[in-house]
Structure 1
């Protein structure tokens, strides 16, 4: 009797992994929505581009707004990428391997995830890129009125360069181990 209860409980626990499917669907849908938002940002820039030469003042204003919209779109696309990698990674880890992704020779294997460490590493790289783009977006909008602000900007740029260096250095060491 105890063995039967144990088997039933273990089966229920094993099948509970399918609740992760809700997170997979939500992540993929959220990624889709973010791609639409980013595309709308680009659409706004394209629509306004037809009027950019109407006057010098309008061109200068368009230039500032276009850069903000394009950087925002890149930021949103990167976050959508994080959600897509996360959703597909969860599916691969908890539900099942995605056969079409494993067999596809046309694309890179960036979405293929076999371990939780691989998922964390891929997410960390894309999240770092999101942070860099977000820093860039705020750096564009910030008013540099004194030397202290310029110093903070240069420190921020240095720290970003340092983080990219360490990310690539770690990536190179990982390939040397294999």
Structure 2
């Protein structure tokens, strides 16, 4: 029975595979979109709005890359947590706990929100609704920052408690 229960950790492989497939598809989308965008932009390179369109598209590409990267990190993290250590990944991608995985995802998500807001500002610079959207994203970033601060404090407390135990 113990062995059977131990094998259930392999259920996480479904999450690993799905995250890696979606990450691959996002990276592929960005690469294909880049070639299509380059072709379209070169055809209209002399038009005034081409530069603005390229800037917005570049920011959206960066956002898609961040999502692809987050999916990759989730795939690596789930594998590390449930299946086994991955020897060939950089140390900054190593995941030792579920909290590590959440922290990495939160950090990428905050950057993605900032990139999305930047894209929105450039696209709708003179629109009234940009401030409301900015306040909403700011509230999310503030909430995540508070979470990170509180989570960091709880980690410090855990480490202090571990040191005190004989």
Name the TM tier (shorter chain): 0.7 to 0.9
Secondary structure, in 3 states, of the residue corresponding to 2:20? helix
Please identify the structure whose Cα radius of gyration is greater. Answer: 1
Structure 2 gaps, min length 5: 161-166
80, 83, 91: which one pairs with 1:92?
Answer: 80
Q: Please name the residue that 2:37 is paired with.
A: 45
Asked whether the 8 Å contact 1:45–1:70 carries over to 2, the reply is: no
Please give the alpha-carbon distance, in whole angstroms, between the structure 1 residues aligned to 2:88 and 2:127.
54
Residue correspondence of structure 1 range 136-151 to structure 2 within 5 A: 136-142=118-124, 144-146=126-128, 149=129, 151=131
Does 2:15 match 1:23? yes
Alignment CA distance shift 1:150-1:121 (3 Å): closer
Please give the alpha-carbon distance, in whole angstroms, between the structure 2 residues aligned to 1:79 and 1:51.
29
Aligned length: 157
Q: Please name the residue that 1:71 is paired with.
A: 59
Does 2:136 match 1:128? no
Alignment CA distance shift 1:80-1:15 (3 Å): same
| 1:23-55 deviation per Cα after TM superposition (whole angstroms, max 9, x unaligned) | 11111111111011112232233323434443x
Asked whether the 8 Å contact 1:41–1:72 carries over to 2, the reply is: no
Instruction: Normalising by structure 1, report the TM-score.
Output: 0.71
| 1:122-165 deviation per Cα after TM superposition (whole angstroms, max 9, x unaligned) | 1110011111112222222236355xx46436645755775687
Secondary structure, in 3 states, of the residue corresponding to 1:99? coil
Structure 1 gaps, min length 5: 1-8, 102-107
Alignment CA distance shift 1:134-1:12 (3 Å): same
